Structures are given as structure tokens and as C-alpha cells.
Structure 1
């Protein structure tokens, strides 16, 4: 009685246990890497786009959109000009503006940027999928010389509520003398967000004015020193800020308000949509993701090449087996289909094993990725786009198996039964 082809295929696979297991593992690891890179690429892009969420517009001095985004959100670089406080007040009173959070940059603390703002920063600035800022310890600043530090600042420098810190004038290589006569007290530590907020020291706008009372033109005024206890006698209302984050009453008005700001008379301003500009920035830095995807595709190709090599190398040892099958009534086409079926089964099993391995890895490292890098990796089996990749792997395995299947097809019964010395 002739056995079904699928039964012969399974028996043939079991008969070559070690080679089958090694091939299966190679394919599974290749699929894990391919889908892992694709998943990280998509989730990293989503997390990057959600570095700042819930903010409809960012307004700053007229420059480039990406430049404004870099220094206002990522704290990279510096603004060419500041925005006068009178313009900020005018924007705050705009009928379509629900809230406005000013941002003042220019100082630093031991390599971390200092962000001057208001308490509204903690109420309105959101990260991720509209996740509000949370305090891991302490509370928001209240006094002039209070400060809130991000999670990375606290972890790197060992800060906790009550710690005393001193700010430096300037940032990066331009950092000058310290404002040592006006120390700050840490009142709160923010929970980790995986965004630039983690690397920031936040103080009130009044604090920015206070530490610069005896400074002018970027340097200390000779012979003038105003102690911290006397700053209350001066007007500490802000004069200029770097940028402003704006939330609107209705999202439908965002383009109209943006156009009004960009075309307004007087002080030239630029209003950008954070999401659009983040996508533009991603196209610049996203070349790395495409390189990683190409590398993972090559790894899959190597795994499939191993499958072909295993099948081809086993043909010599299987000539007698194939010849017996021919003698029992199997035609050349049956032998061809047998080899093709083996390859497809190994590819399907490898894909399934790779998906399960990726799910386990995703579930294990997702909390760490979110906490350390702000990448929200969702532990899932497969989505629609990943099914396309899996189908491509199986199709490639089917195509790759044509060579060994064709060689097996051409083996003759006489060649298989010939005793080789």
C-alpha cells in the first residue's frame, strides 16, 4: 500500500534529526531577527513620533522647522533668537489657545540642560501616547530656587529631593562660570519617560531671571554681586524666552492658528506642528533603521542558504533512499514534491518557532526598553505587515528548494542502486 506523501515527508525529516534541528534553529533565529528589527523599527518610529504628544504647536523665533524642534524638544543646539515675553503674552490670550507653556534654555548643570518654564509644564506636557508626566519622588518647584530633575539626571548624579545643586551659565562647550552664589534645592524627581525630559533640570522662569541679575551680555558684571536672599527685591518677571508649547481649544483650528502666527506682523515667529516635523526629522535619521532591516534580510538569506546546503549535502546519502522510493512506485514528480514539501515544512516550523521566540523576548525586554529608551515595544505574535514578511520567508524557502528538488528529480533508479566504491 502506497504511503501518503506527507507521511513520507515527516518520516524523512525525523530520520535526519540533528540536521533538521540545526536547520530549524537557523531559520527560527533568522526570522526572529528579521521580525524583531521590523518591530523595533515600527515601534521606535511610533515612540519617536510620540516624544511630545498633546501639543498642537511649537512657537519660536523664525528659523527652520527641524532646528526649532531640535532645540525646543530635544534640547540639541541653541536658538538663533529668543521670543519677547510680550509676544508670549499675546499668544497666551489668543482666543483659540487653551494653554501655553514657555521654555527658556541657555544654562546647564554638569552636562544636562536646564529648562526654565512654569508649573504648567507638569500639567500639560505629555509623552508617549498622551501619558502625563509623573513624579517618582517629591513635587513640582514652588520657590525661586527650587528645581525638578529628570530620571536620568537623578540616576547619574544621585539626586533626591532635598539635594543642593548649582547651575552653570551656558551649555555644552560654551558652559561658563557657575552660579555658585545662588544654589538650588531639588524638590522633585520625575519618573522615567525615555524622552529628553529625563535629561533635563527644570526650574521656574523667575529662577532664570534671578541667576542672571548680575550678568550682562553672557558674562558677570564686574564688581556686582547680588546674593540669593536679595533677589526678591528685583523684578523677576521674564523678559524673553526660547520657545513656547501650545495646546489649542480645538485641533481643527491648528492650521489657521499656525498661519496667523507665521504671517503676523512685527516680531517674526515660526509655528510648527510637532508631529509633522518629527516625521520629517525621522526621514533624516531613519536611514539606520533601513540598514538594520537590510542586515536582517541578509541573515534570513543566510538561514535559507543553510537550508539549501543541508538538502543538497544530504542528497548523496539519500540516493539509495530515493531509489527505493522509485522502486516502490514513486515517480520523479513525487521525489521532486517530497523535497519541496520538506523545505516548506521546515520553513513554516522555523517561522512559527521564530515568532514564539520573538514574543517571549518582546515580553521580557519591553519594560526595560520603555524605562531606559522610551521605546514602547508591544509584545504580540504577528500583525498584518509581519505576516507578509513570514509569507516572503516561506516563499523564498520554496524557491530555494527548487535546486535540490530538481537534482533529486534527475536521479535515476540505476544511479541510486549503483554501489559506489
Structure 2
């Protein structure tokens, strides 16, 4: 070990309490910086995989982001519906392996009601192609027994305390916030909760899933968005009517081969029956993230400022100790240490403190991540990665060490300027 490193370690050991507090401050700031970076990347990956395994999303002609917002995130309303005849023709394309229709329009206490088929639970994937799981109950059955059955997302069930077997009433339209008033109720045709989905961190958590026939059934005595005056058809009689859907809002498509996705997309976009749009959900999710992901950059900037505060504390501790160490530095000069060696001594001390802070910060990050990962996955559907630091995180660590080395120039330059006579003079 060179004399500079030996003296630096001895000096740090002699001031162990102040050094420990400095290392802890740097470690906390480094853990925050890397934690924000990791959560930011994992949140972006989770957002991009809100819908995975789906090759195309089909809806009425509109913008890609708008189609994704109302079909996947259930935000906003469609410009138009897609006729059921068109959906059947799209499903009959030779390259289409499966199709899941989605019908929106009704709500329950501010949460969207999604009309679909049992194939939704089979083909909907999120994250790394993870399937939806049931926390309780089962999927709704088909006709005729499952006509008035509903499956609840995890957030809906938790917010209102619903359990399997309870009966709930759907609202017509999507007005009103969560728990707020609705336009009208389908009170004569309540639905029975038959399943509650496990939390997935996707918009499905905030939705109620019913069969397409169930949506048709509650509207058999409605016309033009309002009840038909003097007409009241009870739930025991609606099965006599034709409950086949007339139109849907959108559809999720899976193809036999990913290589055919652009060919099928062009064919759907040029569909002669009615104006349709087919979008690539992955590419559109990335486009949407670029619009709503500004908060992540602000959060990263705040954590970088915290790191700078930690490094400023490091400099303050080293500078404050210089007054007590002027005699020590002067003795080193008297014993033959050059100005460059005194400069290196202070720089190495700061670098060692910053390096120890980075190591401890990594340990804190992995410890906190191991504790928080199960809770984040269960409550928010965020899959927190606990692997080795990525290239970006190594870059941040290198930047912290580089910044600490630059910050150490302040006390090192001051020590460099101390003369031997000044250090040996007793000040009164």
C-alpha cells in the first residue's frame, strides 16, 4: 500500500464518526438516485408491457394513441363503434389466431364496465406474457347461465368491499367520477359477482368485466340511450330476445405469425366495409409514454440534486477538518511530503468516502428492493428487478465518483496552499 493510501485510511479511522456520517449521507443519496433510476426503468418496462402478446388493436378510424387510450386504458370514448359483421370478417382472416372483442359505454360507480367474451381471460397478457389470475371465484360463464355474471378488477373489489356472490347494479353511461353519480341505473337487471381478479397493475384492475350478451340484455328495453317509455322487460324474459352484439368498441388480435403483422394491419386499414384502424400496441405504448413520462425525468433530476447535497456534505466535513489538521499537514510537509502528495492525500480521502458511500448505497438499494418488491407486485403490479446494476446504473455510480473527485479539489487545493510556516505557527 502506498503511503498516500495508508495515510488516508489512517486519517479516516482517526475521524471515524464524522467519516461514518459522511458515508451514510452519500449512501442514502446514492440509494435514492439508483432507486429512482431502477423504478423509472421498471415502470417504463411495465407500462410498455401493459398489453403483451397482442399483435394488433382494431377500432374505428382514429389516432393510434386515442384508440389505445380508450380500448386498453379505458380513458375517453370512441369516435365510433365497429359493426359486429366487420369484427367477424376480421376474425376470419387466415392470419388471425384469436380475437377478443371489447365493448365500452356503461360504468359502475365511476369504473368502466368492459363487455367481452370468456376468451379475454385466456388471451389477455401483460408484463412478460403473464396471464390474469383470479384472487377469488371464476370467469363469467357463457349463455344462458352466465348472462348476468360479472368479474371485478382488484381495485374495484377492494375500493367497495365487494365479494363473490354479491349483486351489483350497472350504470348507463360513463359520467361521474369514482363513487360519483351516474346518468341512469339498470336497477332491474342486477349482476352477480362470480370472480375477483388478482392485482395486475393494469387498467383491468379498475374495470368490471361482463359478457357481451349481458350488455345487450340490459339494453333490450332502451333506445337511443334512454329507456323506452312504458316498456319494462324483466331479466327472466330477456333470454327470449336476440342478444347477439350489434357492434363493439374495439378488438384485440393475436396472429399466427408475427411476420404477418404489417400485412394484416394494412389490410384492416384498407377494409372497404367501414373505416377501421389497426395499431401496434407496443409502438403506440412507447409513443404514449413519451407524452406522459416527463415526471420520471423530474424525479431523476430531484434525486441527482440529493446526491449533490450529499457530496456537498462530504466536502463540508473535509474542509471543516482542515483547521484541525493544519499542524498534521505541516508535519507531513516537514517530513518531506510534497504539495502534490498533500493534495493527493485529501483527494484520496474524499474518493474513499464516496466509494464507501456507493457500496453502502448499493447494499441499501438491494435490501430495500428485496423488502418492497413483493408489496409493489401485490399492490401495484410493479415488477421490481433485483438483478445486477445495469449499464445506466454503473454510469450513474461512475458519475457520483467523478463528482466526488471533483468536489475533493476544493479541500485539496486549500491544503495545497497551506505553507509549512503557517501550519507550525500557533494562532492565539
Q: The TM-score by the shorter chain falls in which range?
A: over 0.9
Deviations 1:296-328 (A, max 9, x none): 111111111111111112111110111111122
Give the whole-Å Cα distance in 2 for the aligned partners of 1:113 and 1:256. Answer: 33
Give the whole-Å Cα distance in 2 for the aligned partners of 1:389 and 1:191. Answer: 36
Corresponding residue for residue 167 of structure 2: 164
SS in 1 for 2:113: strand
Large movers: runs of 4+ above 6 Å: none
Q: CA deviation at 1:381?
A: 4.2
Give the whole-Å Cα distance in 2 for the aligned partners of 1:3 and 1:338. Answer: 11
Q: CA deviation at 1:343?
A: 0.7
Corresponding residue for residue 220 of structure 2: 213
Q: CA deviation at 1:175?
A: 3.1
SS in 1 for 2:34: helix
Whether 1:347 and 2:354 are equivalent positions in the alignment is yes
Whether 1:149 and 2:158 are equivalent positions in the alignment is no
Corresponding residue for residue 133 of structure 2: 134
Give the whole-Å Cα distance in 2 for the aligned partners of 1:366 and 1:3. Answer: 43
Query: Contact 2:140/2:211 (CA < 8 Å) preserved in 1?
Result: yes
1:10-409 equivalences under 5 Å are: 10-142=9-141, 143-173=146-176, 175-409=182-416
Unmatched segments (≥5 aa) in structure 1 = none
1:406-421 equivalences under 5 Å are: 406-421=413-428
Give the whole-Å Cα distance in 1 for the aligned partners of 2:2 and 2:127. Answer: 58
Farther off after superposition, 361-370 or 276-285: 361-370
Give the whole-Å Cα distance in 2 for the aligned partners of 1:256 and 1:3. Answer: 68
Query: Contact 1:107/1:175 (CA < 8 Å) preserved in 2?
Result: no
Aligned residues: 420
> CA separation of 1:8/1:180 partners in 2, compared to 1, >3 Å: closer, same or farther?
same
Deviations 1:200-255 (A, max 9, x none): 11000000100001111111111111000000110000000000000000001101
Q: CA deviation at 1:3?
A: 7.6
SS in 2 for 1:172: coil
Deviations 1:350-377 (A, max 9, x none): 0000000000111111111122222111
Unmatched segments (≥5 aa) in structure 2 = none
User: TM-score with structure 1 length normalisation?
Assistant: 0.98
SS in 1 for 2:147: coil
Give the whole-Å Cα distance in 2 for the aligned partners of 1:144 and 1:3. Answer: 81
Give the whole-Å Cα distance in 1 for the aligned partners of 2:326 and 2:2. Answer: 19
Q: CA deviation at 1:94?
A: 0.5
Give the whole-Å Cα distance in 2 for the aligned partners of 1:267 and 1:380. Answer: 49
Query: Contact 2:97/2:256 (CA < 8 Å) preserved in 1?
Result: yes
Query: Contact 2:22/2:317 (CA < 8 Å) preserved in 1?
Result: yes
Give the whole-Å Cα distance in 2 for the aligned partners of 1:230 and 1:391. Answer: 71
Give the whole-Å Cα distance in 1 for the aligned partners of 2:67 and 2:396. Answer: 38
SS in 2 for 1:351: helix
Give the whole-Å Cα distance in 2 for the aligned partners of 1:397 and 1:79. Answer: 54
Q: CA deviation at 1:4?
A: 2.0
Farther off after superposition, 168-177 or 111-120: 168-177
Deviations 1:257-316 (A, max 9, x none): 111111222300000000000000000011000000111111111111111111112111
Give the whole-Å Cα distance in 1 for the aligned partners of 2:91 and 2:229. Answer: 37
Give the whole-Å Cα distance in 1 for the aligned partners of 2:319 and 2:161. Answer: 60
Farther off after superposition, 153-162 or 356-365: 153-162
RMSD: 1.2
Query: Contact 1:356/1:381 (CA < 8 Å) preserved in 2?
Result: no
Give the whole-Å Cα distance in 1 for the aligned partners of 2:329 and 2:94. Answer: 83
User: TM-score with structure 2 length normalisation?
Assistant: 0.96
Q: CA deviation at 1:153?
A: 1.2
